Structures are given as C-alpha cells and as structure tokens.
Amino acid sequence: EIVLTQSPVTLSLSPGERATLSCRASQSVSSFLAWYQQKPGQAPRLLIYDASKRATGIPARFSGSGSGTDFTLTISSLETEDFAVYYCQQRGAWLTFGGGTKVEIK
Amino acid sequence: QVHLQESGPGLVKPSETLSLTCTVSGGSISSSDYYWAWIRQPPGKGLEWIGTIFYSGSTYYMPSLMSRVTISVDTSKNQFSLKLTSMTAADTAMYYCARQSNGWFDSWGQGTLVTVSS
C-alpha cells in the first residue's frame, strides 16, 4: 500500500495570502496524484488530477505540481471560500488518500 | 450533470451487515467511461477508499476490507450497492458513493452517516 503523508496538518493564513500544501508518497506514483477540497458537512470536490490538471470549473488560482514522490498544491491568493480541508489521493497502486491539511483563517 | 444519492440505514448493530445503495441520475451507469466507487470517512478523520465496480460487474476492493466487502451493480435501475459484513464500531463513518474516472473521483454523493451501535 502506498502511504501519502500531507504537511502541514494545519495551515493558518489570511485571505489574499499564498497557500502551499505538500503531499509525499512512500513510493513513486509517477504523476498519478489528485487533490480534493472538503468543506464542513460537504462531500469532497476534485480540484486537480494527474498532478497538475485542473478539474472542470476549478479556478486558476489552484495549481498542482510534482511527480514521483513529492507533490504540491498551491493556492495563489486565498479567497474566503478556500478555507477548508485538502486531501491528496494516488492511483499508482490501489487508491489511497493522505491524512489531509486544514487551511484555516489566521 | 450526474447526480449520486446514497440510501440505507443510519444505524447498524455490531456484527450485522451494512447494506447501502447509490442511485445514479443524469447519466448512465453503463457508460464505458466510468467506474463507480464507495468511499468512507470516520467522524473527524480522513477518507478511505472501500472499492470500485464497473458496469460489467468487475470489482476492485481495498485489500484490508476485501474479506468483508461486496459491491454489486444493477444497470436496469442505474444503481450500485455496498454490503459490508461483521460491522464494528470502527466502521462508523460517513459513506460516500462516487463516480470514478481514470482513478479519480469526479462526482460524489452527499454521503450517508452510518453508526454502529447496539
């Protein structure tokens, strides 16, 4: 099983700031990584797939990068609605999720 | 736009079997472009993939749950279902059904909370 480790666990930022979230895989997943956003009481929403491709309707302020074992989700300028929990997921071997990063208002 | 809706009991007794159904609308479950999945999330915790089915009936299960899980599909009703046996408190979670495209979950149901308690 491929383990995904997300850091930091919590990120405290202000609206307008840049957010940088990390996801590290226990072994290479090539570019087979996605990012999801989950708000309280809601189902997750797909943001990024294949490491860097934005899903339909996702704003350009969300971007993904990385390959192999190290991946990054960047939110260029935080909007109020972006404060949420973010999960990474790999499909390199079976399907597993990271533990999540909570982006909270500072 | 596809819509997924979970249904089933919110309370299950320990050792019993959980049965949930996901009804798909706005799209055909028989599309060769998609798979259909179950994912769960214990309260306050992260996401865990349970398993996936193709309209043909091919299934893929999380290895640690494989002995307890069965996922089936009913194309005539545009539904797919989850059965999880020998439920314990550790299985208490929000259960989501989702559409899976190339390994990514691009549409989700709203989720249904299942509590295991006597």
For B34-53, what is each residue's pLDDT tens digit? 999 999 999 999 999 999 99
Smallest Cα distance from B31 to chain A, Å: 19
Structure confidence at residue A93 (pLDDT)? 77
Q: Do B108 and A45 touch (CB under 8 A)?
A: yes
Query: Would you say residue A20 has pLDDT above 90?
Result: yes
Q: Is A58 within 8 Å of chain B by CB?
A: no
Q: Which of A95, A96, A101, A102 to mutate to test the interface with B (most CBs of B within 10 A)?
A: A95
Structure confidence at residue B1 (pLDDT)? 92
Structure confidence at residue A65 (pLDDT)? 98
Q: How large is the average pLDDT for residues A44-57? A: 98
Q: Which residues pair with B99 in a beta bridge?
A: B36, B107
Kind of pairing between the strands at A33-38 and A45-49: antiparallel
User: What residues of chain A lie within 8 A of the CB of B102, using their CB?
Assistant: 49, 91
pLDDT band at A81 (very low <50, low <70, confident <90, very high): very high
For B54-92, what is each residue's pLDDT tens digit? 999 999 999 999 999 999 999 999 999 999 999 999 999
Q: Tell me the one-letter amino acid at A26.
A: S
Q: What residues contact A51, with CB distance under 8 A and at least 6 apart?
A: A31, A32, A33, A64, A65, A66, A67, A71
Query: Would you say residue A16 has pLDDT above 80?
Result: yes
Q: How large is the average pLDDT for residues A64-93? A: 96
Q: How large is the average pLDDT for residues A63-88? A: 98
CA angle A11, A15, A18 (to 5 degrees): 60
User: What residues of chain B lie within 8 A of the CB of A89, using their CB?
Assistant: 47, 104-105
Structure confidence at residue A92 (pLDDT)? 80
Burial label, A91 (beta-carbon count in 10 A; 0-12, 13-18, 19+): buried
In this complex, which of A43, A46, A100 lies closest to B104 when CB atoms are compared? A46
Computed from CA positions of residues B15, B90, A2, A53, in that sequence, does the dihedral angle turn out positive or negative? positive
Q: Do B47 and A97 touch (CB under 8 A)?
A: yes
B40: nearest CA partner in chain A: A43
A1: nearest CA partner in chain B: B63
Smallest Cα distance from B45 to chain A, Å: 8
Q: How large is the average pLDDT for residues A17-40? A: 97
Which carries the bigger pLDDT value, residue A92 or residue A32? A32
CB contact at 8 A, B118 and B14 = yes
Helix (H, G, I), strand (E, B) or coil at A88: strand
Q: How many CB atoms lie within 10 A of CB A22?
A: 16
What is the residue whose two structure tokens read 């798909």?
A: B24
In this complex, which of B46, B102, B110 lies closest to A43 when CB atoms are compared? B110
Round to whole Å and give the CA distance between B22 and A29: 30
User: What residues of chain A lie within 8 A of the CB of B47, using their CB?
Assistant: 36, 44, 87, 89, 97
Structure confidence at residue B16 (pLDDT)? 97
B97: nearest CA partner in chain A: A43
Query: Would you say residue A27 has pLDDT above 80?
Result: yes
Q: Which residues pair with B117 in a beta bridge?
A: none
Q: Quick one: DSSP state of residue B82?
A: E
Q: What residues contact A2, with CB distance under 8 A and at least 6 apart?
A: A25, A26, A27, A29, A90, A92, A93, A94, A96
